[in-house]
């Protein structure tokens, strides 16, 4: 990895970590999801980094993929198990990190510990000499040793320039991920999830998180207004996911157009990912640069 790219990753990592830690201080019963997301995103942009994706806030049985709407009424309650997932980029080089916080109660301390220790152990074992399924095995072993299940259909992922999911997958169980091995200089987000439920997630309602997915197909949109809107959104957000809040800021009251773009298949609306049996879910995530002899954590 050349020095410039490395410096960009280091900066993105520091900014994402600072924003995550700042976000934790805002998580209190009565606080609004919307305020937390907005303030954490502001922290990232104030530090001259870009938003790699909208701040994700997932509570309790929701594992991932929720970002508040511009008018979101949700507030935190005592006892909520909150996953705060934050991404920053510098020149397109992305750092992705997440933490779980239980608000004012301690019913899920060991589950929080399970995903956290699974991440630590994964960081200890990952290197270019072992297949990623072995990293999954380590995560699975750690989480099951606490009496919980890893979520098997959520995976860590390689990070590319302006690309949130590139090439590699880092499984949370030993049976997935195959024999693929990371290379020196690969950047990956490792994110173990633990649950007392089924051990997999299913798709729920919309997350308010979108992605422009097919700019070729978009050339064939007949309605001019819709086409112009797609072009504007695509120019603005490119290959990275964006929030309804951000879109709303660009084109007030155009929820209907974005629904149409999703319907046409040129825009993806991510679903919320909910634990299949309604289990509680914890998560911890760091971004690492794989090195010959291990890895460097940048978040
Ligand atoms: Co993440």
Tell me: the pLDDT tens digits for 108-130?
999 999 999 999 999 999 999 99
Mean pLDDT, the chain, rounded, equals 94
Q: Which tokens hold the place of 189?
A: 């987000």
Other CB atoms within 10 Å distance of the CB of residue 292: 11
Catalytic residues: 85, 96, 157, 165, 191, 285
Residues 176-202: tens digit of each pLDDT: 767 789 999 999 999 999 999 999 999
Backbone dihedral region for residue 135 (phi beyond 0: left; psi -120 to 50: alpha; all else: beta): alpha
What tokens were used for 116?
Answer: 């956290």
Domain residue spans of the chain: 3-203+273-297, 207-272
Contacts of 4 (CB under 8 A, 6+ apart): none
Distance 83 CA to ligand 1 centre (A): 10
Cα 82 to ligand 1 centre (Å): 13
- Is the pLDDT at 295 greater than 80? The verdict is yes
- How far does the centroid of ligand 1 lie from the alpha carbon of residue 152, in Å? 16
pLDDT in tens, 40-59: 999 999 999 999 999 999 99
What pLDDT is stored for residue 253 in this prediction? 62
CA of 285 to the centre of ligand 1 (A): 6
Report the candidate in 101, 108, 91, 78 with the shortest Cα–Cα distance to residue 20.
101
Could you give the residue ranges of the DSSP H alpha helices within the chain?
Answer: 3-26, 33-46, 109-125, 132-145, 224-237, 244-250, 255-264
Q: What is the pLDDT of residue 219?
A: 77
What per-residue confidence (pLDDT) applies to 248? 82
C-alpha 95 to ligand 1 mean position (Å): 8
State the Cα–Cα distance between residues 55 and 242, nearest whole angstrom. Answer: 10
User: Under a CB-based contact definition with an 8 Å cutoff, are residues 53 and 209 in contact?
Assistant: yes
Distance 66 CA to ligand 1 centre (A): 12
pLDDT tens, 207-259?
Answer: 999 998 877 777 788 888 888 888 888 888 988 999 999 988 677 666 777 78
Give the pair of three-digit tokens for residue 183.
């290379």
Using an 8 Å Cβ cutoff, are 289 and 1 in contact? Answer: yes
- Note the Cα 84 to chain centre separation in Å: 9
Question: In what order do the strands lie in the sheet containing 286-291?
Answer: 163-170, 156-160, 187-190, 286-291, 294-297
Q: What percent of the chain has pLDDT over 90?
A: 80
Per-residue pLDDT band at 77 (split at 50, 70, 90): very high
Gap from CA of 115 to ligand 1 centroid (Å): 14
CB under 8 Å to 220, separation ≥6 — which residues?
none
Is residue 24 scored above 90 in pLDDT? yes
pLDDT reported for residue 220:
80
Q: How far is the CA of 146 from the centre of ligand 1 (A)?
A: 23
CATH of domain 3-203+273-297: 3.90.230.10
The whole-number pLDDT of residue 177 equals 67
C-beta atoms surrounding 10 within 10 Å: 16
The CATH architecture assigned to 207-272 reads Orthogonal Bundle (1.10)
pLDDT for res 241: 95
């Amino acid at each position: 990895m050349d020095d410039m790219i490395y410096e960009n990753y280091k900066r993105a990592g520091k900014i994402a970590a600072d924003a995550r830690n700042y976000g934790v201080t805002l998580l209190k019963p009565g606080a609004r999801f919307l305020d937390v997301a907005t303030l954490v995103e502001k922290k990232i942009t104030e530090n001259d980094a870009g938003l790699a994706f909208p701040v994700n806030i997932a509570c309790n049985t929701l594992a991932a993929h929720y970002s508040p709407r511009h008018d979101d009424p949700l507030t935190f309650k005592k006892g909520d198990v909150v996953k705060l997932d934050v991404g920053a980029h510098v020149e397109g080089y992305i750092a992705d990190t997440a933490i779980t916080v239980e608000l004012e109660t301690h019913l899920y301390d060991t589950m929080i510990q399970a995903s956290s220790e699974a991440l630590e152990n994964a960081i200890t074992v990952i290197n270019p000499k072992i297949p990623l399924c072995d990293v999954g095995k380590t995560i699975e072993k750690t989480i099951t040793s606490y009496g919980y299940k890893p979520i098997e259909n959520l995976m860590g992922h390689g990070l590319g320039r302006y690309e949130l999911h590139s090439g590699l997958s880092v499984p949370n169980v030993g049976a997935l991920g195959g024999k693929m091995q990371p290379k020196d200089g690969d950047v990956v987000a490792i994110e173990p999830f633990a649950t007392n439920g089924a051990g997999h997630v299913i798709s729920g309602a919309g997350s308010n998180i979108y992605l422009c997915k097919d700019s070729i197909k978009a050339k064939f949109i007949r309605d001019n207004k819709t086409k112009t809107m797609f072009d504007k959104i695509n120019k603005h957000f490119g290959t990275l996911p964006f929030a309804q809040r951000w879109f709303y800021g660009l084109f007030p009251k155009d929820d209907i157009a974005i629904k149409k773009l999703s319907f046409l298949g040129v825009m993806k609306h991510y679903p919320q990912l909910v634990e299949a049996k309604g289990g509680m879910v914890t998560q911890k995530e760091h971004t690492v640069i794989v090195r010959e002899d291990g890895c460097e954590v940048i978040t």
